[in-house]
Amino acid sequence: MCNLPPKFHSVCRLCLSFCGDNCSDVKLPIFDRDKDKSRLSEMIMTYLSIMVSSEDMLPQVVCGSCAHKLDEFHTFRELTHKSERLLEQFVQYANSLSGPKEVSNKTYLFHKH
Ligand SMILES: [Zn+2]
């Protein structure tokens, strides 16, 4: 179908790193053999907005360094979402303590206008 060099499919899909036969950096497959989706493909699409498909003609592997970065990104995302939940809970808690005061303030403002 096309004249791609065989090594084209051994470069990292994300950073284009390529190293020869003696390289210790093992490339990780983006897709599991018997699944349409995998953790790596989901992270690439969610965090990088890069569409990957097991049927596209592009490399289907990523290098260890990129996989590590995706993992870090994932951990960072989990942290930020957890923080968001905690902040919201705190505001709810604070509101519940100063509930009536808050309401009367709003009522006051409402009547003022
Ligand atoms: Zn890479």
Strand partners, 28: 62
Rounded to an integer, what distance in angstroms lies between the CA atom of residue 86 and that of residue 101?
A: 23
Rounded to an integer, what distance in angstroms lies between the CA atom of residue 85 and that of residue 107?
A: 29
Q: Residue 60 C-alpha to ligand 1 middle, in angstroms?
A: 11
Neighbours of 13 (CB within 10 A): 20
- Is the backbone of residue 49 left (phi > 0), alpha (psi -120 to 50) or beta? left
Q: Residue 62 C-alpha to ligand 1 middle, in angstroms?
A: 5
Q: Taking the model in full, what pTM does it have? A: 0.72
Q: Residue 98 C-alpha to ligand 1 middle, in angstroms?
A: 52
pLDDT category of residue 70 using cuts at 50, 70 and 90: very high
- Count of positions (residues) in the chain: 113
What's the distance, Cα to Cα, between the start and end of the chain in Å?
72
Residues with beta carbon < 5 A to ion ligand 1?
Answer: 12, 14-15, 17, 63, 66
What per-residue confidence (pLDDT) applies to 43?
A: 95
What per-residue confidence (pLDDT) applies to 32?
A: 84
What per-residue confidence (pLDDT) applies to 108?
A: 54
